[in-house]
């Protein structure tokens, strides 16, 4: 059977492809977008910046109005825990950030796992309210407690946030631990958990007979032309952390191009909750595809009804209306996610806008979480829409592909 995503628009109208353009062409206020870029740049400067570097991409409709990079993809050689300071590389050895720099997406990977699952739901091979045990009878705890596919996608299974799979001796032990893991919370109660996406990965792989990286490639990234997106290793990626105990869960040294998440690393780099690398522009294509009802150019990865299933409350894999990182875009059905390494995206169907902010905030060591820059950038985008007067030439009513 042909995978969803390899249907190149047969019998369907193609959706306009994403293309670079001016803020005015996108129906956005250029002044607000300049302020957004200036604020992101300011967050990458100084001795203890929010991030060593960042890429910000934003647009409306099929128009990509902002593509900017700031700071460094690689700035530090190590972290000195004695002096609590970052050890800077000599200027000639640093790597500047560019708009084409790939990033470790961390938990943005969950969005791709969710889309892969909804593709199977659209095909009728996966039941959204089916019990996980029907597909994974050897996962005895999930089967005994009646965990459903919908609960995995909505983080309402009751599973704890994570397990120390990185401490297991081998893959057999890791699998045994997952099979035995039972919910610790009441089913139906929201509790964000990486384990939901790990179980969903096993469901999809058992159901299709194909590994997750192949499902994502064949069903999402290849048909959409997202050539810079895939599971690692990715040696040209922005550096992440000088990963060492006690602040991390493994001793791996300075990471660049290897997945940061310790469990994803222990699982070989391909995991339902983490492991993908991508660029700002590729993620803009992903956002635009969902805003266009599942199509981009001649490619279709989902039908509009199934995009609705993903993005309407409570949301499947996507977080909805979260002001802490969506700023003033939140409140009307905006959807998105954040990643531990400093990544985030938000798409707003009410205004047909999207924002991708990628930053290596954990370089050279993970800080206390600070979502303020994400919320600030999203608010700038929301205000860029509101600042536009009635539609005219080049405005929101004029966003069709010419």
Residue 115 forms part of a structural domain: yes
pTM of the predicted model, to two decimals? Answer: 0.93
Residue 386 forms part of a structural domain: yes
Q: What is the pLDDT of residue 1?
A: 31
On the question of pLDDT at 192 being above 90, the answer is yes
Residue 3 forms part of a structural domain: no
CATH assignment of the domain containing 203: 3.40.710.10
When pLDDT is averaged across residues 232-253 and rounded to a whole number, the result is 97
Measured in whole angstroms, the distance separating CA 212 from the mean position of its chain's CA atoms is 15
Residue 241 forms part of a structural domain: yes
Measured in whole angstroms, the distance separating CA 281 from the mean position of its chain's CA atoms is 13
pLDDT tens track for 319-344: 999 999 999 999 999 999 999 999 99
On the question of pLDDT at 392 being above 80, the answer is no
Q: Please report the DSSP string for 347-393 in residue order.
A: EETTTTEEEEEEE-TTSSS--S---HHHHHHHHHHHHHHHT--S--T
User: What's the structural domain count of the chain?
Assistant: 1
Domain that holds residue 299: 19-398
Structure tokens at 330: 């939140």
Structure tokens at 347: 């798409």
Distance CA 270, CA 127 (A): 24
Residue 38 forms part of a structural domain: yes
Residue 335 forms part of a structural domain: yes
Cis, bond preceding 213 (omega within 30 deg of 0)? no
Residue 7 forms part of a structural domain: no
- 85 Rama sector, left if φ>0, alpha if ψ -120 to 50, beta otherwise: beta
Residue 369 forms part of a structural domain: yes
Q: What is the pLDDT of residue 69?
A: 98
Q: What is the pLDDT of residue 336?
A: 98
Distance CA 280, CA 89 (A): 25
């Amino acid at each position: 059977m042909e995978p969803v995503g390899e249907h190149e628009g047969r019998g369907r109208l193609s959706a306009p492809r994403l293309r670079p353009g001016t803020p005015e062409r996108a129906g956005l206020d250029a002044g607000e977008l300049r302020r957004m870029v200036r604020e992101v740049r300011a967050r990458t400067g100084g001795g203890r910046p929010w991030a060593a570097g960042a890429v910000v991409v934003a647009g409306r409709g099929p128009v990509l109005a902002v593509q900017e990079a700031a700071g460094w993809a690689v700035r530090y050689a190590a972290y000195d825990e004695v002096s609590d300071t970052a050890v800077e590389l000599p200027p000639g050895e640093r790597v500047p950030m560019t708009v084409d720099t790939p990033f470790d997406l961390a938990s943005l990977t969950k969005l791709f796992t969710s889309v892969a699952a909804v593709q199977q739901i659209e095909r009728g091979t996966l039941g959204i309210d089916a019990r996980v045990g029907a597909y994974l009878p050897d996962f005895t705890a999930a089967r005994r407690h009646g965990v459903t596919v919908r609960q995995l996608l909505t983080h309402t299974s009751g599973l704890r946030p994570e397990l120390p799979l990185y401490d297991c001796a081998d893959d057999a032990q890791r699998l045994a631990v997952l099979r035995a893991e039972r919910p610790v919370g009441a089913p139906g109660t929201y509790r964000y958990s990486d384990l939901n996406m790990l179980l969903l990965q096993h469901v999809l792989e058992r159901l299709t007979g194909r590994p997750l990286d192949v499902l994502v490639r064949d069903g999402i990234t290849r048909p959409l032309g997202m050539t810079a997106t895939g599971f690692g290793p990715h040696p040209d990626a922005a550096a992440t952390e000088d990963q060492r105990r006690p602040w991390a869960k493994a001793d791996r040294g300075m990471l660049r191009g290897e997945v940061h998440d310790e469990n994803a690393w222990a699982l070989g780099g391909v995991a339902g909750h983490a492991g993908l690398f991508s660029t700002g522009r590729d993620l803009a294509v992903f956002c635009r595809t969902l805003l266009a009802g599942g199509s981009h150019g001649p490619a279709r990865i989902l039908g509009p009804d199934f995009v609705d299933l993903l993005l309407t409350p409570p949301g499947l894999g996507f977080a909805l209306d979260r002001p802490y990182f969506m700023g003033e875009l939140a409140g009307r059905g905006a959807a998105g996610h954040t990643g531990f390494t400093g990544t985030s995206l938000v798409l707003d169907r009410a205004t047909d806008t999207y924002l991708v902010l990628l930053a290596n905030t954990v370089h050279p060591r993970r800080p206390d979480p600070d979502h303020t820059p994400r919320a600030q950038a999203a608010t700038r985008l929301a205000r860029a829409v509101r600042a536009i007067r009635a539609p005219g030439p080049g405005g929101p009513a004029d966003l069709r592909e010419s």
